[in-house]
Structures are given as C-alpha cells and as structure tokens.
Chain A
C-alpha cells in the first residue's frame, strides 16, 4: 500500500484548493495519470502530487483550514474517483478522500481561526478539519493518515437486553438511553411479549420494534384516542357547514377516536370520486390522470436532520420523498419545497447554544434541495418560504414529489417464495435511529448524541435506481416495491412481509465499510435504497438489468408463509418476531387536549402611511421575492413546465401555481399549489386549516386548475402532542381539514405529521414551533392552453375583485411591519367559497380572463402591487368599489387577508362574458390597467391612499 496527496489549484486567484488523498497499490505513474486525466482540468487548474510518506511540500503561507468528511460519512466525489480510476484502467486504487483547503486572511490566533472555521466553513457533525496559522508537515501527515484509517474489523455480535421482570423506571431508562422513543406502556408490552416467550429480546428485536412503532412510521398521535376540552365555545357556528367544529363545541368536550380516521380518512371517504385510485394506503396518493396514466403525489418533512445538517437534511429529504413516489412505481415528474426558517437577520447573540444561525440553515437547506432535485432531473415547480422566530431552532423542510405511471402498473402482490432484493446504495452507519430521532425534541446536545442520524445524499445513485426500476416495472419483474426510508430494511421488509413472513440474511447486504453490527445493518437509514419483491423466475433478469447499468442489486432473503420475521447474520439470529406482534402489538395512546383560545390583541390605534406600509410589507421576508432561491432550482428539466414559478414581462413575478404538461401527445395538465399560514395557527388552528385549504385551492384556481378535479395533502408540523394545549391545536387543525374537505369536495389523498418540533435549550427553556399546516393541492386541467398567469397584460383592461372582503386583519403579515393586527382571523365562508372557486374557474375556461392573482398575505395592496410590477403595467383601483357585506375602513379594505378573493384582469370586449360566469358571486370592477407604471389606489373618498411607481415597489419586494 502506498498513499499520495494531490493538490489542485485554480488558475484564477481563489482562496480555495482541492486536495485528494489516494491510497492503494499505486505506482507513481498511476498517480501521475490520475492527476492528469481525472483530478484536474488543465485549462482551469494546475496540479501537483507527492507521496504521503515524504516531507510534505508546504502550502501557501498564511492561515488555512483543511476540511474533509469524517471517516464513515459518504464522500460522493471520492467514490467517483474510484470509478474513474477503473475506467482508465488503474485498478490498484483502493481508497480516495477529498479535502478542501481554504486560506483565511487576517487571522492571527489559532482559537479564532478554529471558531471561524466552525461557524462558517464546516459542520462538525459530518466534517473534520485541520486548521493552522502555519502548516506543519508532521501535523498534516497525521491528519491525512487519520482520514485514511480503515475501521477495525470486528466480530458481529448479538446483545440481549435484560427486559424480563425489570421495573418501569428501568424500562423508561432503556428506552431513553437507547433512543428507542418508546413510551412506558409500549415498553411494558414488549416486556410482556418476551416474558411470554421466555427469553430476553436481542438488540435487533428491540430496535425493530422501536422503528416499527415509532411516531414516524406508525403515527401514534394521529391514531390515539383523544379527550378534548375547550374553555369557551366557538360562537355562531353553522353545524351543517362545520360539523367537526360543532362536535368540538359540545358542552362536556369530545372524544376523538384517532385524528386520522375521524377527520382525514372520513372526509376522503365522504367526498371520494371515481378518479381517486389510492388514498392513505400506499407510499403516495394516486389519482387517475386520464384513461392511460395515473398521477401520484406525496409530501414529506425532514425537519430534525435539517436543523443539524441543513444541506444533508434537505438533500435526503428530497431523495426520500422521490423514493416514496418510486415506491408506487411512478416516474417522478416534479418536486415541490416549502421551507420555514427563523428570521435571517437574527442577532448572533440571540442564538441558543448548539443552534445554527437561520441564514446558515437557509443557505444549506436551499443548496440541499437544489442539489438533489437538479441532479435527479426533476423540475421544482412550486413552493414557498416562511419566516418566524419559532422556527429558529426547528426549521421545517417540506419536500414533495409528483409522479406519473401507466395505470395499473404498480403491483402489490408479495408471494411466499419471492426473493427480497435490495437495489441501489450500500448500507453504512448513516441514518441510524432516524425514525426514532424524529420523535424526540431537539436539545443543545442532540447533535452529539444522534449525530449518526444525519445522512448525506447521493443523487446520482438514486437516478440510476430510478432508471432501472422504471424499466423493471415495464417488464413486470417485481411483485411489490417499497422505499427503504425511516427504519431502513427493518421497516421495508417488515411492511412488505406483514401478511407473509420473511427471512433475511444480513451477511449478504452490501456494506459501505466494515464494522457494522448486525442490528445496525438492519435499521440503518442509508439513502438511495429500494426493496423489491421478485418472483424466482425474474430474479436473474432483474439482476442483469441492474448490473447492466452499474446499479448494485442483491438478493438478501425471501418472503415466507410462516408469519414470522426472521433475520440472520450467518449463524446468529438477529431477529425472530411474529409479524402479528410487530404490526399490531403496539399500544393505542390516550391523550388529553385542552383548548384555551388566545385573546385577540388590542387593536393598535395608528395613523398609517400606506405607501410606506406597502413597501415594508413587500420587503417582509414572508412576502418578498424568493427569486434568488427559485432560480437555483431547475424548473424546466423534463420539458413539461408550461407555467413557470416566476412569471411576467421580466419573468420575475410571483406565480400562483406551477402547471405541467406531462405528456407531449396531450394538452392535459396538472396544476400544483399550496397553502400555509402559521400566523393564523398561533390564533386558531381550525381557521388556519380552512385558510390553508382555501389558499391552496386559490393557487390552483388562479392558474386555471379545476377545483372540482383537485386532490389535497396534509402535512402537520407541531410541538409536543403530549402537552394538552399543543394537542388541542392539532385537533382543531384536523377538524378544519375535515370540514374544508367536505365543503370543497376535495379528498385528502395522503398526509404526514411531524410532531415534537420543540427545542429545549441549555437552561431547559422549551420553545415549540408555531402550529404549522401545509396543504398541498394538485388539480387537473383538460387543456394547459387555458391556464393563465398573474401578471397584468395590457393597458386599458378592466380589473375586477372577486369575493367579499371583511375586516380580517388577525395574523395579517402587514401587522408585523407597522400595520394593524386586529385579532380577527380570516374565516373562510364555507357556504360560498366553493362556488366562488367554481365560478372563477368557469370564467377562465370561458377564455374571458387575461390574468388572475389570488389575494393572500398582504391582502389587496400586495396582490395589486405584485400583479402590476410582474406585468410592467400600472393599476388604478377604487377602494369604494370593493365588494363587502358591511362598510369597512380603507385600512381594512387594503390590508385585510379575507380568503377566497381574486384580482382579475379582463379585456373590455370580454367583460360581459366574464360577468356572465359569476352568477350569484360577489364581485365588482374596481379599476383598470394603466400604461403608466404606477400603482394608484384611491380611498373611499376617491383620494390616492397609495400612489407609487412600480420600480420602487418592485425594488422593495426584491430587496
């Protein structure tokens, strides 16, 4: 074995260099060829190489930091070097490591340099660094040798955990210290099971139960029996329109038998339609696209991992939800991302120990989403970014994927005797305890205790897996498929074999490196793996297909008929559990919920400068342009994006929804939108849920999607559900989802919850995120040529406001920057909202609408400004014309965030046609499009209350 160091310097002045450590049976000619042919680009770089055992040549003078992934952490570039070496015929290269060297100027102190590196250059969780003011050869050599050190070989062992007869406090300790995240009742059930068997569980069995019974996999809170109380009843509720809320209003409280069944599934069952093919049972919801194709949609969160390692967490968040869609045999055709961060201007001094700054989290998360989606070649066509101080320690990363498949091509028929084949990435120690880790609150030292839960993605491996699996699907090679996500092989095999039984030989699982114990192989959440069930006659064709495209595929066992999950490692029995106990042996939780309505804030008396308030609201990060994020995502790949995320004359205005045309041979399209507003959630999650559903539908409708061909997904992110106040909010949000789905007749087809989004700092102070519900909506449209954008199109066109405005400035975003938050939360009128959406859609289908923008955060003022500057045309509007049901102040008319409203541009020749579609709908012509680039809004007396040039409004929005 010999080892070498290659140094690659950019020819252009730069403070970065790349270093490569190469080890193996290498001659110096081999290293020269690797350097010249693989590791540097002679036009852009110079390169030098040297043996690692010699005196190392000194780098440039000055302070520097050399950073590498910790041993055991996925290093994709290093893996590529190994492949490249084989391509050029150098087979002696056994090990490669990549490092980056950063020169840091103006530092004279080692400790300051180390601190700077920790804060700006590396993440200690996955990376290790050598930092110095003056590089010394011996120290560097030691660092490199440490990086090249291979894990020591070891003997696989099975540890038995003494569980029989132990006390409750001992059970709790075992659960806590093992990061099993099982409750006392669950630990008791496990203890009783093994007492009956007359033996203690193995480490592998305990881990299997913890994964399978985790909140992440089993949604225990959403299946729990909840006893709900509230201190005051909601006044004036129409029980026919709000059946779930009316039930909660019962004088002596309500008992809810599982939020999932009682609210979400029951709503879907009540409004299900012919096109709905699969809801809540598969890895993703599935609906019919047309006679030949079906569309699937799934949205997941990856919050805790993104808090600790933003790039890796978000990266694998995208990778994971793409595998969910692959898990219903569909080709991924779009990704979405909704991100919630702390405010980027948070002073460093207000940051808790162990928490990354929101700017750094945002930068890493966005880069992670970009990297994975772009590399898979999936367009990112819809998303949102929200900011709240409550997300500082607990950022939220929602990632969605849309897929398409020929109808009926997803098989679900595991047979005894079918082989279990794992396809894709190798298994390492990455992601151990991910499923259980997501069920515990974060603390200042979480990073140290569950560091292994952080994963690094490898999108190219996932892309090759997609390539072969779609071919395997078309060839009918597998009988069932699932992704290897939370809980790793234990969950994938455990779920697939639930009705049959399975035998797995862990010795055969391909590993990234030596040193894993059997239980670690079994529950590792290493990325980019899929598990398929393969009838015996198809095993060889599948392996040939995979190997022909350099995809690793390995038979690791088979399904049985004995109803037992048996996991072996050579002679060792790692797991031997009844599938029945594994899947039904858990405990149904009983939880208490107690709703205490928040008092409405006292309205602040103020004389408002509306021009200044408009600019301040446009600059508020929640409203401001996300172009610098959206541009870094590929939204054009696959050539199906026919309404882009950024629209308008300069292609930089905020589009309401993305529209895809998935098939070249048909103009049929899919529209994607979303709704989220945690500011409302802080006041009342019930009305937040209604507003979120309405917003997602408004997005859809504004772009031309059919509200009667719309399906929705729920993603709840909440604090600790064991606390009755947090849980009460969750109950109300779920009730809102139910009532909205019934009223709009939009079935939920999939959902997910991420609970325990709380942070406990070093002083023990607990911070929960604001109650957060994301509604994602997918709609069909028969002809994408009838979809529209939100930018004003031509001077002289009429501007209509559709929908009623009320004085609803509770939770208004303008209230954060100097406007008035009067505590009146926007309350969707379920009696009228569905018909407003339908009428708007009919008007668009009648080709009477040139542009349409929904009113959301910032109300009429912001919507009008956005429509104007996106189109490059001015607007002149009269507040006196705005439709209301009672007389409102100009403040309310401008800033209210009442739901179910649209700003619509109509050509003069089309106004009659347009109005004819709006029978019995509140609407009014409130102004017109101007050639002059100014936004003019006149108050009730006809005097300008807003008068501003578009350039300065746009500049505020883009600031």
Chain B
C-alpha cells in the first residue's frame, strides 16, 4: 500500500507541505479531516502510513497537542491501536509529535509517561538546528541514516520531559532517535543549539517497535535543497535534508 493519510484537524497547518514532501518521496498523500475518520466515511485501515503534521491543533489550548490527542483517544482509539500494532508507519512532526506523546502512542502505548512543555527560553523559536541520528535506533524512518541532519524547528512547547525510569528505558531501547547537537557535534543542553531545553537533548523518539516516530524539527520544511539556509554559501545539494526521512517512511510502508 502506498497511500499516506495526512491528518487534518482544526488548527493543523503543515498538512500541505507534508503531503508535498511525501509525494516527492513517491507516495500518494491524501489530506483527510479527522471528522471523516471519526464518522467512518474514510477508513484509516485503507492507508499504509499516517502522518500527523504540525500546527496548533485546537489552538494548543490546555497544552500543545492535548486536545487533538483527546479527540483521537475518544473517537479513534481502536483504529489507531490496530494501525500501530500492524506495524504501519506513523510520523508525528512538531504538533504531531506532541499529539503522539499525549495519546500515549509514544514512548510506548501508555498515557502520561512523558510530555512536551514550554521551551526553557520562555518563547516560540524558529531556527535551523543540527540533529544527531542514532543509527542503532529501530526507527523505520531513519533506517540506514547516520551522522547529522540539519532541520528547522518552529515551536513554543518542545521541551521533552520524562521521569528517570522512562528515560533509561528509552536509552536502553534506542528509542531516542534524534538529539540536538552543539557545534562540536555533541548532544547539548545549551541554548540555542538545543532550542527548548529538552531533557537529554531529545528532539525525537520512536516506540519500541520503531514504526511510530515523533520529532519536534520539521523535515517537511526541508525537502528542497533551496530550503536550506546555507545553500548560497555552500552550494546546492541534490535534495533537502528532510527527504531521507520521508523516503524511509515510504519504503517502510511498502514492506508492511
């Protein structure tokens, strides 16, 4: 199956570019409103991959991603659980990551293990950052990738937070997929390389099976080479740095 469902909901605003990136990666992307899934006129099971894009779902009132998470839990819990259990890829970008954490699909099928709160800086931040990839992670979206990745962030509530036990489990399972790096290439707590003060410099995590991936940075804003802020200085790459993630997702979807 090569169809990707790009979820729309009130306040989601990165669905169009996510769909464009997926199409460039060879998928067929359909932007579907959450109400169509809830009423059953469109079935999640007909899709090979789910992408929850960025934005401010329901205004992010009551906490980023919270309301859409509640909506998904109450109206689509079984469909979503089955989708994940089937091993189909799920990608949550920025607000989508917040939604996945608050539904409990991340880190692992239980609500209330982790959260994303206000940036330590106290304000919204839009900038390009450098990510380190964990090549040992089971994440299907980063298979075969290693080294670093430049991507933009744009968020006010990206500070990943969890308890010590959960953090250790995340490390043991290689669920920490991407971390914010400093100029020396080390995971960092220093602002602005770590733009939000995330615990352990965590920028994105996956579930233990590796098919659910959420991250604060935006690969969907980095799929063309000219999206990169340094192309006028360094020359144009063949494609944007975010494309690898979408291509991996599409490849993984075809294997399920």
Interface residues of B in 50-93 (CB under 8 A from A): 54-56, 58-59, 61-63, 66-67, 70-71, 74-75
Residue A374 lies at the interface, judged by CB distance under 8 Å to chain B: yes
Are A549 and B33 in contact, with the CB atoms below 8 A? yes
Judge whether A548 and B33 touch: CB under 8 Å. yes
Interface assignment of A459: CB less than 8 Å from any CB of chain B: yes
**What residues on B are CB-neighbors of A375 within 8 Å?**
11, 13, 56, 59
Q: What is the CB-to-nearest-CB distance from A830 to chain B, in angstroms, rounded to a whole number? A: 32
**Is A768 in the interface zone, CB < 8 Å from B?**
no
Hey, which chain B residues are within 8 Å of A649, CB to CB?
Answer: 233
Give the size of the chain B interface in residues (CB under 8 angstroms). Answer: 57
Render B12-25 as a binary contact track against A, CB cut-off 8 A, 1 for contact.
01101100110010
Quick check: B70 and A377 within 8 Å, CB to CB? Answer: no
Of A38, A44, A377, A635, the residue contacting B115 (CB under 8 A) is A44
Evaluate contact between B24 and A664: CB separation under 8 angstroms.
yes
Chain B positions within 8 Å of A87 at CB level: 67, 70-71, 74-75
**Given the complex, which residues of A lie within 8 Å of B10, measured CB to CB?**
460, 463-464, 549-550
Complex alpha-carbon distance, A793 and B127, angstroms:
21
Determine the distance from Cα of A639 to Cα of B225 in the docked complex, in whole angstroms.
11
In the complex, B45 has a CB within 8 A of chain A: no
Contact across chains for A460 and B59 when beta carbons are under 8 A apart: yes
* In the complex with contacts A377-B55, A639-B220, A644-B229 CB distance below 8 A: yes
Report yes or no: A77 in contact with B61, Cβ–Cβ below 8 A.
Answer: yes
Q: Are A84 and B67 neighbours in the complex by a CB distance under 8 Å?
A: yes
B229 to chain A, nearest CB (A): 5
Encoded as 1 (CB less than 8 Å from any A CB) or 0, chain B from 196 to 229 comes to 0000000000000000000000101111101101
Partner of A642, one of B8, B55, B152, B226: B226
A378 to B, closest residue via Cβ: B13
Chain B, range 124-145, C-beta contacts under 8 Å to A:
124-128
**Interface membership of B169, Cβ < 8 A:** no
Contacts of B148 in A (CB 8 A): none
Cβ contact within 8 Å between B62 and A81: yes
Of chain A, the residue at the smallest CB distance from B63 is A41
B112 in the interface (beta carbon within 8 A): yes
Q: Report yes or no: A632 in contact with B124, Cβ–Cβ below 8 A.
A: yes
Decide: A467 near B154, CB < 8 A? Known: A38-B70, A639-B220: no
Interface assignment of B2: CB less than 8 Å from any CB of chain A? no
- The answer on a CB contact under 8 Å between B126 and A631 is yes
* Contact B20 A637, beta carbon cutoff 8 Å: no
From A39, A83, A376, give the contact of B13 (CB < 8 A): A376
Tell me whether B35 is interfacial, beta carbon within 8 Å. yes
What 1/0 flags go to A635-674 for Cβ under 8 Å of B?
A: 1111101101001010100000000010010000000000
CA distance A77 to B66 in the complex (A): 12
Q: Is the CB of A43 within 8 A of B229?
A: no
For window 449-477 of chain A, which residues contact chain B by CB distance below 8 Å?
458-460, 463-464, 467
B114 interface residue, CB < 8 Å from A?
A: yes
Does A634 lie within 8 Å of B154, measured CB to CB?
A: yes
- For the complex, is A89 an interface residue (Cβ under 8 Å from B)? yes
Q: Do the beta carbons of B67 and A88 come within 8 Å of each other?
A: no
A75 to chain B, nearest CB (A): 10
A649-B102 Cα distance, complex, nearest whole Å: 37
User: How far, in angstroms, from A398 to B92 measured CA to CA in the complex?
Assistant: 35
Interface membership of A561, Cβ < 8 A: no
Most buried by A among B117, B224, B233: B233
CA distance A793 to B220 in the complex (A): 28
Contact A370 B226 (CB under 8 A): no
- B59 x A80 contact (CB < 8 A): yes
Closest A-chain residue to B41, C-beta based?
Answer: A548
Decide yes or no whether B149 CB sits under 8 A from chain A. no
Which A residue sits closest to B56, measured CB to CB?
A: A375
Instruction: Name the A residues within 8 Å of B14 (CB-CB).
Output: 377, 637-638
A76: Cβ under 8 A from any B Cβ: yes
Instruction: Write the B101-131 contact mask toward A (1 if CB under 8 angstroms, else 0).
Output: 0100000000011110100000111111000
Does A789 count as interface, using CB distance less than 8 angstroms? yes
Contact A43 B66 (CB under 8 A): no
CA distance A548 to B13 in the complex (A): 18
Are B117 and A44 closer than 8 Å at their CB atoms?
A: yes
B162 interfacial by beta-carbon distance below 8 Å: yes
**Which single residue of chain A is at the shortest CB-CB distance from B36?**
A548
Q: Is A692 an interface residue (CB 8 A)?
A: no
Q: Is the CB of A633 within 8 A of B226?
A: no
A851 contact set on B, CB distance < 8 A: 232
> How far is it, in angstroms, between the C-alpha of A675 and the C-alpha of B220 when the chains are bound?
32
CB of B226 to closest CB in A, whole Å: 4
By a CB distance below 8 angstroms, the chain A residues around B16 are 638
**B161 contacts partner chain A, Cβ-Cβ < 8 Å:** yes
Q: Size of chain A's interface in residues, with CB distance under 8 A?
A: 54
B115: A residues at CB distance < 8 A: 41, 43-44
* B1 part of interface (Cβ distance < 8 Å): no
Give every chain B residue within 8 A of A661 (Cβ-Cβ): 224, 226
Contact A38 B74 (CB under 8 A): no
- Is the C-beta of A23 less than 8 angstroms from some C-beta in chain B? no
Residues of B near A644 (CB, < 8 A) are 229
Q: Complex formed: what's the CA distance from A389 to B221 in Å?
A: 40
Which residues of chain B have C-beta atoms less than 8 A from A642's C-beta?
224, 226-227
| B125 x A77 contact (CB < 8 A) | no
- Among B155-193, those with CB < 8 Å from A are 161-163
B110 vs chain A, min Cβ distance (A): 12
- Interchain CB contact (< 8 A) of A631 among B35, B61, B127, B221: B127
Q: Judging by beta carbons under 8 Å apart, are B55 and A548 in contact?
A: no
A455 to chain B, nearest CB (A): 16
A631 touching B8, Cβ below 8 Å: no
Of the residues B74, B126, B127, B229, contact of A88 by C-beta under 8 Å: B74
Is A788 engaged at the interface, CB distance under 8 Å to the other chain? yes
Across the interface, B224 reaches (CB within 8 A) one of A44, A77, A664, A788, namely A664
The verdict on A413 contacting chain B, using a C-beta distance below 8 Å, is no
Query: How distant is the Cα of A458 from the Cα of B67 in the complex, in angstroms?
Result: 16
Task: Determine if A639 and B221 form an interchain contact, defined as CB atoms under 8 angstroms apart.
Answer: yes
Do B35 and A550 touch across chains, with their CB atoms under 8 A apart? yes
A651 to B218, CA, bound (A): 17
Q: How far is the CA of A57 from the CA of B61 in the complex (A)?
A: 26
Residues on A with C-beta less than 8 A from B163 are 43
* Bound-complex Cα distance A41 to B61 (A): 12
Within 8 Å CB of A38, what residues of B? 62, 66-67, 70
* B60 to A, closest residue via Cβ: A375
Taking a contact as CB atoms under 8 Å apart, the answer to whether A631 and B226 are in contact is no
Q: How far is the CA of A444 from the CA of B199 in the complex (A)?
A: 48
In the complex the two chains form, what is the Cα distance from A548 to B223 in whole Å?
A: 32
Residue B236 interfacial (CB < 8 Å):
yes
Contact with A along B222-252 (1 / 0, CB 8 A): 1110110110110010000000000000000
- Using an 8 Å CB-CB cutoff, how does the interface string of A73-105 with B read, 1 for contact, 0 for none? 000110011011001110000000000000000
A785 touching B59 in the complex, CB below 8 Å, given contacts A43-B112, A632-B126: no
**Is the pair B233, A83 in contact by a Cβ cutoff of 8 Å?**
no
Instruction: Give Cα A786 to B43, complex, Å.
Output: 45
- A residues near B33, Cβ cutoff 8 Å: 548-549
- Give residues 781-818 of A contacting B (CB, 8 Å): 784-785, 788-789, 791, 793
Tell me the bound Cα distance from A744 to B170 in angstroms: 62
Complex interface: chain A residues within 8 A of B70 (CB): 37-38, 84, 87-88
* A42 within 8 Å of B (CB atoms): yes
| B62 contacts A639, C-beta separation under 8 Å | no
- Nearest CB in chain B to that of A789: its residue: B232
Q: Which of A80, A631, A635, A789 contacts B67 (CB 8 A)?
A: A80
- A positions within 8 Å CB-CB of B: 37-39, 41-44, 76-77, 80-81, 83-84, 87-89, 370, 374-377, 458-460, 463-464, 467, 548-550, 631-639, 641-642, 644, 647, 649, 651, 661, 664, 784-785, 788-789, 791, 793, 851
7 A-B pairs with least C-beta separation = A377-B13, A639-B17, A80-B61, A43-B115, A77-B61, A460-B59, A460-B11
Known interface pairs A37-B70, A377-B56; 4 further A-B residue pairs with C-beta atoms within 8 A, sorted by A's residue number: A88-B74, A370-B124, A549-B35, A664-B224
CB<8 Å pairs between A and B, sample of 10: A77-B62, A80-B61, A83-B58, A87-B75, A370-B124, A377-B13, A463-B11, A631-B126, A637-B13, A793-B233
